[in-house]
């Protein structure tokens, strides 16, 4: 593999990244900037969620919204075999009561195939990772080059795997070290790593930095359709998000 060299990030970009890290707050899901003429009904229809879930995700007590403000669009999760409200709450960094409230369900029984709106927990406990502006940029590039086109949760998951490796004794102990480890990140090898990340990639990187880990501690991920490495398929699978399998 060609060894890629760290590119210098302009001071203005680095400063912007620092500001982003200082001001960013945990937000799980897409963001919608309210426009004149918007209503909760209109926004809920556009994103395929309920008005109640929008209100729960944004701590709204009424249907009144103000142009220019930002709304968090809650995630919609399809229940698979073996899942419970407890596991979903742990996975998404929210609470059982918040999920129950957002979906107007009674009790805690859920069914395979059921679609649940997952609201954001504004005060969900999470272990944050401290990173530099340059590391944040590297993480966003890794997310974009490896997971663009994946659901937002899958993008967060890729960033989480990189951070999990940093903490794991079998991997380099820096974000740059993990990303540039030979053959660790396919996009570094084929050059896609240097594509300019979109906002979703930065948001996903920030979520992982904030402590969100939908992989439950995975240190490997791969696409089972395209992966040619037989060894990676022997790793114990933890979960599957989008096209990627996450393993330990």
Per-residue pLDDT of 224-238, as tens digits, reads 998 888 998 999 998
Q: How far apart are CA 111 and CA 100, in angstroms?
A: 13
Q: Which residues of the chain have pLDDT under 70?
A: 1-29, 120-128
Please tell me the total number of residues recorded for the chain in this structure: 248
pLDDT of res. 19: 36
Among candidate residues 71, 17, 22, 70, the one with its CA nearest the CA of residue 210: 22
Per-residue pLDDT of 125-179, as tens digits, reads 445 677 899 999 999 999 999 999 999 999 999 999 999 999 999 999 999 999 9
Three-state DSSP state, 194? helix
pLDDT of res. 23: 32
Catalogue all structural domains in the chain, each as residue range(s) with its CATH number: 30-118 (3.10.350.10), 127-247 (1.10.10.2520)
What is the largest distance, in Å, between two alpha-carbon atoms of the chain?
Answer: 56
pLDDT of res. 131: 87
Among candidate residues 130, 158, 157, 164, the one with its CA nearest the CA of residue 142: 158
Among candidate residues 29, 64, 65, the one with its CA nearest the CA of residue 47: 29
Of all residues in the chain, the percent with pLDDT exceeding 90 is: 40
| pTM of the complete model | 0.53
Query: How far is C-alpha 62 from the geometric centre of its chain's CA atoms?
Result: 29
Neighbour tally for 74: CB within 10 Å: 28
pLDDT of res. 3: 39
pLDDT of res. 134: 93
Burial 145-184 (b: 16+ CB within 10 A, else e): bbbeebebbbbbbbbbbbbbbbeeeebeeebeebbbeeeb
């Amino acid at each position: 593999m060609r060894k890629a060299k760290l590119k210098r990030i302009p001071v203005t970009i680095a400063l912007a990244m620092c500001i982003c890290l200082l001001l960013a707050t945990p937000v799980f899901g897409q963001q919608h900037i309210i426009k004149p003429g918007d209503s909760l009904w209109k926004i809920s229809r556009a994103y395929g969620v309920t008005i109640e879930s929008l209100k729960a995700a944004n701590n709204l007590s009424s249907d009144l919204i103000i142009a220019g403000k930002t709304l968090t669009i809650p995630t919609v999760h399809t229940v698979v075999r073996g899942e419970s409200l407890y596991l979903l709450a742990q996975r998404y960094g929210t609470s059982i009561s918040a999920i129950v409230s957002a979906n107007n369900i009674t009790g805690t029984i859920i069914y395979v195939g059921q679609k649940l709106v997952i609201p954001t927990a504004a005060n969900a406990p999470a272990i944050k990772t401290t990173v530099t502006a340059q590391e944040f940029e590297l993480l966003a590039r890794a997310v974009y080059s490896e997971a663009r086109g994946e659901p937002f949760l899958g993008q967060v998951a890729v960033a989480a795997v990189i951070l999990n490796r940093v903490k794991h004794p079998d991997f380099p102990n820096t974000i740059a070290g993990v990303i540039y480890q030979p053959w660790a990140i396919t996009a570094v090898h084929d050059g896609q790593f240097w594509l300019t990340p979109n906002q979703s990639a930065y948001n996903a990187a920030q979520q992982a930095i904030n402590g969100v880990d939908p992989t439950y501690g995975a240190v490997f991920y791969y696409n089972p359709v395209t992966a040619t490495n037989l060894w990676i398929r022997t790793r114990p699978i933890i979960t599957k998000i989008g096209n990627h399998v996450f393993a330990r």
